[in-house]
Structure 1
Amino acid sequence: MNPIWQYLVVKRAENKLKSKKKNREFSKRQLVSEVRSTEVEFSHLIKEIFFIVIGVCSAGFGLNGFLLPNEFIDGGATGVSLLLQVTLNSSLGVLLIIVNIPFIILGAKTISRKFAVKSIFAIIALALVVHYVPYPTITSDKLLIAFFGGFFLGLGIGMTMRGGGVIDGTEVLAIYLSRKWNITVGDSLLIINIIIFSTGAYLLSLEIALYAILTYLVAAKTVDYIVDGVEEYMGITIISEKNEEIRIMLTEQLNRACTIYVGKSGYQKYGEEKNSKEIVYTVITRLELARLSTEIDKIDKKAFIIMSVVKDIKGGMIKKKPLKD
């Protein structure tokens, strides 16, 4: 391990232990365990920042290289910002921050503070990229603008979501509305974007609104390809020797309900007794997957994890106990 990196990790672990212990004393075993957790936390954070940076650069290219020079709009908070930029002739970077602020506050309350911090970082970075980075104008063909502008914008949104944040806050609003009104997130996004495109048709032109719908559809499909859709839940099955620690982490630290069921190992020689194992099962949203993966790695890097897509759920505690820090 790099000496500087090792020093930072150990110092961070010591500070975390001191904040937990009233007498400020801790054993070497506790320090080793905390150092291991801090290493996992830092490595996951670097990976998530990398995804966000790639996402911001891609979205900036889609906006500056295709949509902005040709006065195109998109759906979501980005579409609202583009619409305001075209009609008010204001700075898009400033508008992106202003429009997304309410959604980030909502995200901090409904998802987690870490999610909100990453999203703020991503949105401010996108605002700076749009304002200062001189991307070349790629084409003036309207069909190519709608298709590739939507593609790079969707790629940016998807990669940022892989990093645990968003650059378009309407996904957060859609999740909130789905929980409050008992409708799917997809339906919520559809309602929001119908309002945006109708406004675009009224203020600009019907042709621009139609191209905007095409841009949005391409962006949405690209996001689906990158992260399989924000509206999908993930069913997580965890098989680990440290299943009790993982159960405690889920219920006490992440405020998530889980189910424990008993299974038996199938890989045994003839005549040998099959070993029983407790298996942990929980359901989370895509936006929460990055943090869950980090926390599991802190406990057991060798844990066998099965992730499956759950289109929608009803009842239980999944919508009553949001992931909090």
Structure 2
Amino acid sequence: MTENNLIKLIKEYLIITIGVIIVSFGVQYFYAPNQIAGGGLSGMALVISHYIPSLSVGTIILIGNIILFTISFILVGGDFGFKTIYASFMMSAVMDFMEKVLHTYAITENMILAVVLGTLICGTGLAITFAINASTGGTDILAKIINKYSTVNIGKCLLLVDLFVVVCGGLTFGLDKGLYSLMAVVINGLLIDSIIAKIEKRRDSKQEELKLQNAQ
């Protein structure tokens, strides 16, 4: 591995770490304390943790991700698989740290604010990881697989997968919170597509600039 490749790899994993911390913050300070199952494995983990309180959200996410790792390696590829393994383990660790050491709490108990702010934060973190061919694991892996083998944008794939989680959240925490979860999932899917489009546009413009510089 050349020095440039090593620097690029370190930069990518640093970006993944930042994305994971952002997602974890949104889940633990907006979604979890307000019982908003905003899709994904983290949303399902909130549901399972409600019925099995002895299992933390971070632990459930870790178990679920282990089950899905093989799928990502086979159907998506090694690069995505390794990045996803790192991101999912890191997310479990960060969420457990926030929950057990920082003792997470609801920054706001206003459900509309919790949904909007939590989704903006989580969606931004997820978009950052998706943009460099990674994910935080869980249902994100399923969304990535659908995206790879279809023409559907990653955000809409995530929306389709997360509808099941929303239904489970609604049955567990009540219809009103289920509707808030649905709102979070819809906003999240649209937000991710928007952010990724902007990142890719900026990346393409930089590549064009480099090509022009090399041609001169």
Kept in 1: contact 2:42–2:57 (CA 8 A):
no
Find the aligned partners of 2:185 and 2:160 in 1 and give their Cα distance: 13
- Higher-Rg member (1/2): 1
Counterparts of 1:21-60 in structure 2, within 5 Å, are: 38-60=2-24
Find the counterpart in structure 2 of residue 27 from structure 1: none
Q: Does 1:224 pair with 2:189?
A: no
Cα RMSD, aligned residues only: 3.0
Pairs within 5 Å for 1:120-199: 120-133=85-98, 134=102, 135=104, 137-177=106-146, 184=152, 188-199=157-168
Match of 1:116 in 2: 81
The counterpart of 1:204, out of the listed 157, 173, 191, is: 173
Q: Distance in 2 between matches of 1:63 and 1:76?
A: 11
**Residue aligning to 1:100:** 65
Residues 49, 57 of structure 2: 8 Å contact kept: yes
Return the TM-score normalized by structure 1. Answer: 0.55
Matched, 1:86 2:57: no
Q: Structure 1 residues 122, 151: CA separation in 2 closer, same or farther (over 3 Å shift)?
A: same
Contact 2:27 2:42 in 1 (8 A): no
Q: Cα distance, 1:113 vs. partner?
A: 1.3
**Matches of 1:142 and 1:178 in 2, distance apart?**
31
Structure with the bigger percentage of helix:
2
TM-score relative to the length of structure 2: 0.80
Report deviation, 1:183: 7.3
Distance 2:94 2:180 in 1: 24
Report the CA distance shift for 1:164/1:192 in structure 2 as closer, same or farther (over 3 A).
Answer: closer
Alpha-carbon spacing, 1:202–1:188, altered in 2? closer, same or farther (3 Å):
same
Q: Which moved more, 1:109-118 or 1:216-225?
A: 216-225
Gaps of 5+ in 1: 1-12, 14-37, 238-292, 306-325
Deviation at 1:124, TM superposition (A): 1.0
Identity across matched positions, percent: 24
Q: Which consecutive aligned stretches of 4+ in structure 1 deviate over 6 angstroms post-superposition?
A: none
- In the TM superposition, 1:239-258 aligns within 5 A as none
- The answer to whether the 8 Å contact 1:157/1:168 transfers is no
Higher strand share: 1
CA pair 191-165 structure 1, distance change in 2 beyond 3 A: closer
Whether contact under 8 Å (1:74, 1:82) holds in the other structure is no
- Residue by residue over 1:302-321, the C-alpha shift from the partner in whole angstroms, topping out at 9 and shown as x without a partner, is 5469xxxxxxxxxxxxxxxx
Distance 1:179 1:130 in 2: 29
- Given that residues 66 and 139 in structure 1 are in contact (C-alpha distance below 8 angstroms), is that contact kept between their aligned partners in structure 2? yes
Q: Which residue identity does 2:60 align to in structure 1?
A: L
Cα deviation for residue 95 of structure 1 reads: 0.8
- Structure 2 residues without counterparts, runs of 5 or longer: none
Q: Does 1:215 align with 2:210?
A: no
Higher relative CO (CA 8 A, sep ≥ 6), structure 1 or 2?
Answer: 2
